[in-house]
Amino acid sequence: MSLRRAHIVYILFILICTQTFAEDGSQLWLRFEKVSAEISAKRTIKTKSVDPTVLLAKQELEDYWKGNNVELLIDRKLTKLKDGFKITSSGSKLQIVANKPAGLLYAAYHILQKQNEGAEITHYNVEEIPSYDIRILNHWDNLDRTVERGYAGYSLWKWAELPQVLSPRYEEYARANASIGINATVLNNVNASPQILTPEYLTKVKALADIFRKYGIKVYLSVNFSSPKVIGGLENSDPLNKDVQLWWKNKVKEIYQLIPDFGGFLVKANSEGQPGPQDYGRTHADGANMLADAIKPYSGMIMWRAFVYNPTKEDRAKQAYQEFVPLDGQFRDNVIIQIKNGPIDFQPREPFTPLFGAMRNTAQMVEFQITQEYLGFSNHLVYLAPLFKETLDSDAYADGAGTTIAKITDGTVRKISKSAIAGVANIGEDVNWTGHHFAQANWFAFGKLAWNHQLSSEDIAKEWLKLTFTKDETFVKDVTDMMLTSRETVVNYMMPLGLHHIFAFDHHYGPEPWGNMPGGRADWMPWYYHNANEKGVGFNRTTSGSNAVVQYNEPLRSLFNDIQTCPENLILWFHHVSWDHKMKSGLTLWEEICTHYDRGVQDVRAYQRLWDKMESYVDAQRFKEIQSKLKIQIKDAVWWKDACLLYFQTFSRKPIPYYIERPIHELEELKKIKLPLKHHN
Ligand code: GCU
C-alpha cells in the first residue's frame, strides 16, 4: 500500500471510529440509521395526506425504515383511537391508521424504535390508545434562562434571540418528545413572570409553537395571577372584577391569534408567595373559573395547581386537601387540578396525596417531578419509573377497591373531558440534555408511562437501554437490575422508612437533619418533619397526632393509623416510633434505620462495580462520564448515611450495629458543610 493510500485508510478508520464511538449523549434514544439507497428503492412509504405531521412521519420512515412497504392513513371515524394508532400487516405491507396526524407520527416512531430494538415487525399488528389525552412537560424555566431546580445547565429557550434566531435544538427537542408521545409543554416556570404575556414575549412563544406544531406538541404557559395589574395596569387582579375578566379575555384572544392551537394556562396561585384569588378574598375556584371562561371559546385548558400550604399550625401534608375538597364540583369542565404525587413535595418516598381519593366531581391530574430536586440532582443515578408507578398504581379506594390513581386520573373511574399527566422537566442546555446520561431515562419513562401507564418499569428500562446504549443481553439485564433498584437505594441512603424533608435548607441536595434557621418557617425545617427526640423519631399523623390519616379512605385510614399495620416503608411518615420498636425483621427501629442507610451505601458501591464491568459495552465518553457521576453518588451516599446516623444517634444513644460500615465523618465536621444555594442551576 502506498503511503498516500495508507494515509487515506487511516483517516477513514479514524472517521469511522469517531462516528461509532464519539458519543456525548446528545442523540438520546434516537439512534436510527439512515437506510441505504438500495433499501429505499425496494419499498414504498405512501400517504394521501398532505398534513405536515403526516408528511413528517412519512419522511422519518423514508429515512430510517428498513422494513416492508408502509401506508399511512387518516380515518376521521376512528375517534376511539384518540391520538393513538393501529398497525396491521398484510403481505408485504404495513398499514398504519390513525384518527389524527400525530397518531401516524407516533406510529412511525413506534416501529422505528421496535426496529432498533431488534424486534420482529414484518408481521405486526398492534393498536395503541394513549392512557392520557394531554401528556405534558412542565419547564420551570425563567426568562433569564436560569431554571428553577434545573440541573442540566441553562434553559433551552434562548429568549433574548427569539424569534429571530431559532436554535436547531428546538426541533430536536420536539422530535425527542414526539418520539415518546409527549404532546404538550409548558415553557416557563410556575413561579411565573408576568412578562411572558407581553406582546414581545408572545411573539417568541409563537416562534417555538410554530416549530413544535408539526411534532404534535401544543404550547402552554404558566401565568402569574397578578398579570392584569402588573402588565395590564389595572387596579387589581380580582377575578370577580369585570375589567380583570375582560383583560384576560382580550389576552387570550391575542394569544390565539398568534397561536391558534395554544394549549392553555398552568397556574400556581396562593402558594409560596405567588399571588392568587385569595388575595381578594376569592377562592381557587373563582380564580380558575375566571380563566377557564376566558379560554373556553378556544377549547383551551386551565391546569390549576393544588400545591398550596401556609405556615400555620396545621400539618403541611393536610393543607391541599383542606383547601380543595370543599371546592369539589365547583370547577368548570376545562379546569383540571394538577396535584403533586405526594402531599409534601417530591420526596424520595411519600404516600400519595389524599386529594386524589377525595374529589369526586373535579378533574384531577398527577404532577411528577422528572428533575431530581430531592434525589441528588443530576449527580445521582435514580431511575424514576418505579416511583411514578408506585403512585399511579396506588389504590385510593375512591369508589371501593381498585380505584387507583391511574384510573382516577385517566378518566376510567369518572369521565373527565380531557385527561392529563404532567412531569417537571429535567431538560437543559447541556449537550446530553439532562446532565446525567441516565436522567434521560426519566424523561423517556415519563413519556412512555403517560402514553401507557400499564407498562412495567422493567420493560421501559430495557427499551431505553437498547435504544440508548446496546442490545447486548448481559448489559441490558445487569443495567436494568441496577436501574430498577436505584430508586429504593436513594430512599435507603437519604430517607428510609418514611423519613422526609431532612434536606439542607433550600438547595435540597445534602443532608441537614439538624437544620434550623432561627425565625424561619417551621414547615421548611427538617425537625418539623422528623421530630427526633430521646423517645423516638417520626411524624405522628395518626388520630392521636395531626390526624392526616383521616384524609385517606378506608381501609387506608385504619391501615396507616395502626403502627402494626402501617407499611414499614412509610412508618415514620405516619408515626412517631420509639427507638426500641420491634420491626418485622426482628430488629429495633434504631437498628433497622442503620441497616437501611448502610444498604443504600452498599448498593451504590455495587453499582460502581457493575458499571466498571460494563466498560466494554459502552463508548468511552459516556462510560467515563457515568463512572464519574457514580463516584459523586457514593461519596454523597456515605455523607447522607453518616450525617443522619450520627445525628439521630445523639437522640437514640445507641451504638451503630457493628455489622454495618463505620462512619468516616465527625458529626460536627458535617454540620459545618454549607453548600451554596443551588436554586437555579
Ligand atoms: C418546590 C420547589 C420550588 C417550586 C415548588 C413548586 O417547593 O422547591 O422551587 O417552586 O416546589 O412546585 O411550585
Instruction: Read off φ and ψ for residue 159, nearest 5 degrees.
Output: -60, -40
Question: 467, 490, 482: which is closest to 611 by C-alpha?
Answer: 482
Q: Residues 24, 200, 235, 272: which is the catalytic one? A: 272
Rounded distance, CA 38 to CA 135, Å? 38
Question: 385, 380, 377, 363: which is closest to 302 by C-alpha?
Answer: 363
Q: How many Å lie between the centroid of ligand 1 and the Cα of residue 268?
A: 10
In this structure, the residue with its CA closest to atom 13 of ligand 1 is 190
**pLDDT one-digit tens code per residue, 298-342:** 999 999 999 999 888 999 999 999 999 999 999 999 999 999 999
Q: Residues 373, 430, 523, 642: which is the catalytic one? A: 373
pLDDT higher than 70, residue 679: no
**pLDDT one-digit tens code per residue, 222-281:** 999 999 999 999 999 999 999 999 999 999 999 999 999 999 999 999 999 999 999 999
Tell me which H or E stretch contains 249.
helix 242-258
Where in 502-638 does DSSP place strands (E)? 536-537, 577-578
**pLDDT one-digit tens code per residue, 556-570:** 999 999 999 999 999
Burial group, residue 667, by CB count within 10 angstroms (0-12, 13-18, 19+): middle
C-alpha dist (Å) from residue 467 to 62, 287, 458, 555: 20, 44, 14, 42
Taken in order of first residue, the domains within the chain and their CATH numbers are 37-128 (3.30.379.10), 134-455 (3.20.20.80), 491-539+576-671 (3.90.1330.10)
**pLDDT one-digit tens code per residue, 105-161:** 999 999 999 999 999 888 899 999 999 999 999 999 999 999 999 999 999 999 999
C-alpha dist (Å) from residue 311 to 355, 499, 520: 20, 20, 10
Q: Residues 315, 345, 523, 598: which is the catalytic one? A: 345
- Residue 91's pLDDT is 85
Instruction: Read off φ and ψ for residue 16, nearest 5 degrees.
Output: -65, -45
Nearest atom, ligand 1, residue 340 CA: 12
Single-letter amino acid code for the residue at 301: M
Lowest mean pLDDT among 204-213, 333-342, 519-528: 519-528
For cell 425496494, the residue is: 42
Q: Where does ligand 1 bind, in terms of residues with CB under 6 Å?
A: 148-149, 190-191, 268, 272, 307, 345, 373
- Residue 18's pLDDT is 45
- Residue 4's pLDDT is 62
| Relative orientation angle of helices 101-117 and 52-64, to the nearest 10 degrees | 20
Q: How many Å lie between the centroid of ligand 1 and the Cα of residue 272?
A: 8
Rounded distance, CA 344 to CA 306, Å? 11
Question: 251, 259, 363: which is closest to 303 by C-alpha?
Answer: 363
Position 680 confidence tier, pLDDT thresholds 50, 70, 90: very low
**pLDDT one-digit tens code per residue, 441-492:** 999 999 999 999 999 999 999 999 999 999 999 999 999 999 999 999 999 9
The DSSP string of 393-435 is T-B--BTBTT-BHHHHHTTSSS--SS-EEEEE----SSTTSSS
The DSSP string of 120-140 is --SS--EEE--S-SEEEEE--
Nearest atom, ligand 1, residue 508 CA: 8
- Residue 5's pLDDT is 64
Q: How many Å lie between the centroid of ligand 1 and the Cα of residue 171?
A: 28
Looking at residue 101, the DSSP 8-state letter turns out to be H
Q: How far is CA 105 from the centre of its chain?
A: 23
Q: How many Å lie between the centroid of ligand 1 and the Cα of residue 165?
A: 31
Give the whole-number percent of the chain exceeding pLDDT 70.
96
Give the whole-number percent of the chain exceeding pLDDT 90.
92
Nearest atom, ligand 1, residue 140 CA: 10
Pull the grid cell for residue 273.
408567595
Is residue 373 part of the annotated active site? The answer reads yes
Question: Does residue 424 contact residue 442 with C-beta atoms inside 8 Å?
Answer: no
pLDDT higher than 80, residue 383: yes
Q: Find the mean pLDDT for residues 530-540.
A: 98
Single-letter amino acid code for the residue at 137: L
Is residue 83 part of the annotated active site? The answer reads no
pLDDT higher than 70, residue 12: no
Nearest atom, ligand 1, residue 373 CA: 8
Question: Does residue 258 contact residue 203 with C-beta atoms inside 8 Å?
Answer: yes
Percent of the chain as helix, strand, coil, to the nearest 5 = 45, 10, 45
In this structure, the residue with its CA closest to atom 12 of ligand 1 is 307
Pull the grid cell for residue 413.
373511574
Q: How many Å lie between the centroid of ligand 1 and the Cα of residue 344?
A: 10
Contacts of 494 (CB under 8 A, 6+ apart): 348, 375, 376, 511, 600, 640
pLDDT higher than 70, residue 678: no
Computed on alpha carbons and rounded to an integer, the radius of gyration of the chain in Å comes to: 26
Question: Does residue 375 contact residue 490 with C-beta atoms inside 8 Å?
Answer: yes
Burial group, residue 543, by CB count within 10 angstroms (0-12, 13-18, 19+): middle
Substitution site in 139, 140, 529 for ligand 1 pocket (most atoms within 8 Å of beta carbon): 140
Question: Does residue 248 contact residue 294 with C-beta atoms inside 8 Å?
Answer: yes
Pull the grid cell for residue 43.
419499498
Nearest atom, ligand 1, residue 367 CA: 12
Q: What is the dihedral of CA 402, 404, 409, 411, to 10 degrees?
A: -20
Rounded distance, CA 472 to CA 591, Å? 41
Substitution site in 224, 271, 307, 340 for ligand 1 pocket (most atoms within 8 Å of beta carbon): 307
HSE of 194, CA atoms in CB hemisphere, 13 A: 15
Q: How many Å lie between the centroid of ligand 1 and the Cα of residue 202?
A: 25
pLDDT higher than 70, residue 17: no
pTM value is: 0.96
Is residue 272 part of the annotated active site? The answer reads yes
- Residue 122's pLDDT is 81
Position 676 confidence tier, pLDDT thresholds 50, 70, 90: confident
pLDDT higher than 90, residue 16: no
List alpha helices for 328-472, DSSP H: 385-392, 405-409, 440-451, 457-468
In this structure, the residue with its CA closest to atom 11 of ligand 1 is 345
Q: How many Å lie between the centroid of ligand 1 and the Cα of residue 439?
A: 20
Average pLDDT score over the chain: 96
| Relative orientation angle of helices 473-494 and 589-613, to the nearest 10 degrees | 150
Q: How many Å lie between the centroid of ligand 1 and the Cα of residue 345?
A: 8
Rounded distance, CA 615 to CA 679, Å? 34
In this structure, the residue with its CA closest to atom 7 of ligand 1 is 345
| Relative orientation angle of helices 620-652 and 589-613, to the nearest 10 degrees | 170
Rounded distance, CA 450 to CA 177, Å? 12
Lowest mean pLDDT among 70-79, 363-372, 389-398, 505-514: 505-514
Position 410 confidence tier, pLDDT thresholds 50, 70, 90: very high
